[in-house]
Amino acid sequence: MPSFDFASKVDLQTLDNAVNVVHKEISNRFDFKGCHVVIDLNKKEFKLNLESDSDMKIGQIIDVLISRSIKQGLAAEIYDLSKEPYVSGKVTKQEVPVRNGIKQEDAKKIVKLIKDSGLKVQAAIMDDIIRVTGKKIDDLQDVIALSKTWNLGIALQFINMKS
């Protein structure tokens, strides 16, 4: 039976490269000369710690981070920007968690969307991936096309396609 998996994985090396490119670009920018800037990637917890002089500069760092990540092949949805920057002494800090894997509630939403579509496929949650199986590969391709219209706020990859 044909099948494929929905996944939301972030390649750590690509993320590290994107962060290094951002750090290099920010350190060379004229408007950041002489400013306190820290861009730190915690590889174990998949978190970015940003520090700068003001909210505006944190926003500029995030804009550069998203644009450089897209150029590296990472989706903009991997960054959880729901937390607001906070002031700590003379600097403004922001923690940006990186979404890696599909959370259980997001997986349930995806399975519900697949079942509500009326396509003749089965979806099963397996840890942090979702396996979709069907009798025809065309049905699986219809699920992939349908999934590109969903606005879930997470980056989905389609892996492990078997026929």
131: CATH:
3.30.70.860
Tell me the per-residue pLDDT of 49-98, one tens digit each, with 9 for 90 and over.
999 999 999 999 999 999 999 999 999 999 999 999 999 888 999 999 99
Q: Is the pLDDT of residue 13 over 90?
A: yes
Count of structural domains, the chain: 2
CA 143 centroid distance within chain: 21
Beta strands 129-134 and 91-97 are: unpaired
Q: Are 121 and 139 part of one and the same domain?
A: yes
Q: Are 63 and 135 part of one and the same domain?
A: no
The pLDDT-based confidence of 163 (bands split at 50, 70, 90) is confident
The residues facing 122 across adjacent strands are 133
Q: Are 80 and 157 part of one and the same domain?
A: no
- What is the gyration radius of the CA atoms in the chain, in angstroms? 19
Q: How far apart are CA 33 and CA 28, in angstroms?
A: 7
Q: Give the per-residue pLDDT at 134.
A: 92
The pLDDT-based confidence of 128 (bands split at 50, 70, 90) is confident
Q: How far apart are CA 72 and CA 48, in angstroms?
A: 17
Where in the sequence is the domain holding 120, given as residue range(s)?
Answer: 3-8+101-162
47: CATH:
3.30.70.990
Q: Are 67 and 16 part of one and the same domain?
A: yes
- Spell out where the chain has E strands: 3-7, 38-42, 47-52, 86-88, 91-97, 121-126, 129-134, 157-162
Lookup: tokens for 4: 């494929």
Q: Is the pLDDT of residue 127 over 90?
A: no
Q: Give the per-residue pLDDT at 12.
A: 93
Q: Is the pLDDT of residue 44 over 90?
A: yes
**Could you tell me if 64 and 22 are in contact, meaning their C-beta atoms sit under 8 angstroms apart?**
yes
Q: Is the pLDDT of residue 23 over 90?
A: yes
Q: Is the pLDDT of residue 34 over 90?
A: no
Q: Is the pLDDT of residue 161 over 90?
A: no
